[in-house]
Amino acid sequence: MSKLKVLNKYLDGIKSYELKSLGLMLGSIQTGTKKQLKEGLNEQMVKLNTLLKLKDSKSGLKVMGIDLGIANFAFTTFHWDKGMERPMLKEMYKVQLAGDFVNLNEGEITPPLRPEVMATLGLNLANWLTRFSCNAYFIERQRSRSASSSTILENILKVMILEYVLYSNLQNRIVSESLPIHLFPSLPKRMVDFTCSGIPIEELIKAHSIQKREKSKSKLNPTSNVLSKKVRIALCRSLIYDQISGKERQFFKFDLDPDFKEILDGYEGDKSSVNFYEISKGSAMDLDFRQRNKNDDLCDSLLHGFVWLEWLANYNTLLKFVDKHANYTTASQDQFQQLIKDFVTSHDSFMSNVIKSI
């Protein structure tokens, strides 16, 4: 019996809320009927199984997390080879697509919304991204329902189109050249759910309000997109700072590539609040002040890679459980349910300690 079939036998014995908890820990759906939750888990486990095979291959797993944008296109790369205990963050890029990947006419500051322009942009961008020799691309998924809005902004529509032309050009390269590359749409909501769960939001809001009370009268809404961005940026900064602070390391989610760590060690600003644009590689075109200080795109690219690697680690733990408990018993079912609880407890403990301020 395959490991997935054994896992499904254990899934049959757990309740809906436990399926939802496991969905959070593996990057699957967290809503729906019990049947839908199981189907979602199986779909996700097939993807994670592909990533595990890449990790155990001779080349290792080389991923690229992509946050889409025209003026703020960002990506982060990680490597995770079979002999490595943890993934390694290799490099971060933030680029201005206009001008670098498609020519602009005089007076244009952004690519015009025309088929030939977006096609050229997607082709040139795909050709460039494949030079990084990654074998798994996690491409930020855009919300399809936005296209039906009568008030949709043109720049949002361009990013939605960019997702499709980039994906299709990468897929064409994979098929025509037999490239060992896999494409994975990465849903922002699942990334946000995973990275913002278990965080003591009320405590962070209170601390933020006290810190900023003389500068602003505004309050952060616990469910706001602004707060979510602040939390994600704080998470990335904390994971980076933990490895360059000079103090004993606390968190062991990924390591820094020596070359990238050298850049961070030489950062002249406050290392606990690093500006990710200043440590990333970038576009030939100068970005304006707002774009240079906009950290959420680079952080989201990091997190689109990070969450998939976390989900892969959790999936690998499940497979190790199956190796030890291939023969289903009532006792092993209880242990499986305890394992799900341990996943959540460990994740919540990490999230409650990794971010101290926003």
Domain assignment of residue 33, given as a range: 3-354
pLDDT tens digits for range 228-269: 899 999 999 999 999 999 999 999 999 999 999 999 999 999
Q: Which residues contact 125 (CB under 8 A, 6 or more apart)?
A: 73, 97, 101, 162, 166, 169
Max CA-CA distance within the chain?
72
> For the chain, what is the mean pLDDT?
89
CATH number of the domain where residue 97 is located: 3.30.420.10
pLDDT tens digits for range 177-206: 999 999 999 999 999 999 988 887 777 777
Q: Which residues contact 184 (CB under 8 A, 6 or more apart)?
A: 47, 136, 137, 138, 139, 308
At 283 the pLDDT is 59
At 44 the pLDDT is 98
Kindly report which listed range (86-90, 278-282, 289-293) carries the lowest average pLDDT score. 289-293
Dihedral through CA 110, CA 115, CA 117, CA 119, nearest 10? 120
Question: How many domains would you assign to the chain?
Answer: 1
| 74 in Cβ contact with 301 (< 8 Å) | yes
| Tokens 């670098």, residue located | 100
Q: pLDDT category, 217, cuts 50, 70, 90?
A: very low
pLDDT tens digits for range 90-136: 999 999 888 778 888 877 778 888 899 999 999 999 999 999 999 99
At 1 the pLDDT is 61
Instruction: Establish how many alpha carbons lie within 13 A of residue 24's alpha carbon, considering only the half-sphere containing its beta carbon.
Output: 21
Res. 82: pLDDT tops 80: yes
